[in-house]
Amino acid sequence: MRAKIVFIVIFTLLLNACSSDKESAAESAAEFVQRVQEEMQLVARESETAAWVRNTYITLDTGLIAAKANERWLAFLSKAVEQSKQYNDVEMSVETRRALDLLKLSTSLPAPSDQALRAELSTISTELEGMYGAGEFCDAYQNCRDLGALEDVIDSSRDYDVLLEAWEGWRTVAEPMRPMYTRMVEIANAGAVEMGHADLGVMWKSGYDMNVQDFEIELERLWSQVEPMYEQLQCYVHDRLQDTYGADKVIDGEPIPAHLLGNMWAQQWSNIYDLVEPYPGVLALDVTSSIESMGWSAVEMTEVAEEFFTSLGLPELPESFWSNSMLTKPEDRDVVCHASAWDMDNGNDVRIKQCVEPTEEEFSTLHHELGHIYYYLMYKDQPLLFKGGAHDGFHEAVGDTLTLSMTPGYLKDKGLIESVEVSEEATINQLMKMALDKIAFLPFGKLIDEWRWRVFSGEVTEEEYNDLWWSLRTEYQGIAAPVERSEKAFDPGAKFHIPGNTPYTRYFLSFIMQFQFFKSLCETASHEGALHECSIYGNTDAGVQLADMLALGASKPWPDAMQALTGQREMDAYALVEYFSPLTAWLEEQNEGKACGW
Report the relative pairing of strands 144-146 and 136-138 from DSSP bridges: antiparallel
Catalytic residue among 75, 149, 284, 339: 339
Active site residue 396: yes
Report the relative pairing of strands 340-343 and 350-353 from DSSP bridges: antiparallel
Active site residue 462: no
Catalytic residue among 259, 368, 391, 395: 368
Active site residue 368: yes
Active site residue 48: no
**3-state helix/strand/coil string of 331-398:** CCCCCCCCCEEEECCCCCCEEEECCCCCCHHHHHHHHHHHHHHHHHHHCCCCCHHHCCCCCHHHHHHH
- How far, in Å, CA of 53 to CA of 59, rounded? 10
Active site residue 338: yes
* Residue 327 burial (C-beta neighbours within 10 Å; 0-12, 13-18, 19+): middle
Catalytic residue among 238, 367, 372, 532: 372
Helical packing angle, 505-524 and 540-551, nearest 10° = 140
Catalytic residue among 197, 238, 259, 338: 338
Please list, in sequence order, all residues whose beta carbon lies within 8 angstroms of the beta carbon of residue 47, skipping any fewer than 6 positions away.
69, 70, 72, 73
- How far, in Å, CA of 382 to CA of 40, rounded? 14
Question: Are the C-beta atoms of 556 and 390 separated by less than 8 Å?
Answer: yes
The amino acid sitting at 362 is E
Catalytic residue among 369, 391, 476, 554: 369
CA distances from 220 to 216, 225, 273, 482, 572 (A): 6, 9, 29, 29, 12
Active site residue 507: yes
Active site residue 197: no
- How far, in Å, CA of 173 to CA of 275, rounded? 30
Catalytic residue among 497, 504, 575, 579: 497
Report how far apart the first and last C-alpha atoms of the chain are (Å, whole number). Answer: 77
Catalytic residue among 396, 435, 547, 554: 396
Please list, in sequence order, all residues whose beta carbon lies within 8 angstroms of the beta carbon of residue 217, skipping any fewer than 6 positions away.
none
Query: Which DSSP state fits 137?
Result: E
CA distances from 366 to 297, 430, 518 (A): 13, 21, 18
* Residue whose C-alpha is closest to residue 350's, from 304, 314, 318: 318
Active site residue 367: no
* Residue whose C-alpha is closest to residue 147's, from 129, 135, 160, 163: 135
Catalytic residue among 208, 374, 507, 537: 507
The residues annotated with a catalytic role in the active site are 338-339, 368-369, 372, 396, 497, 507
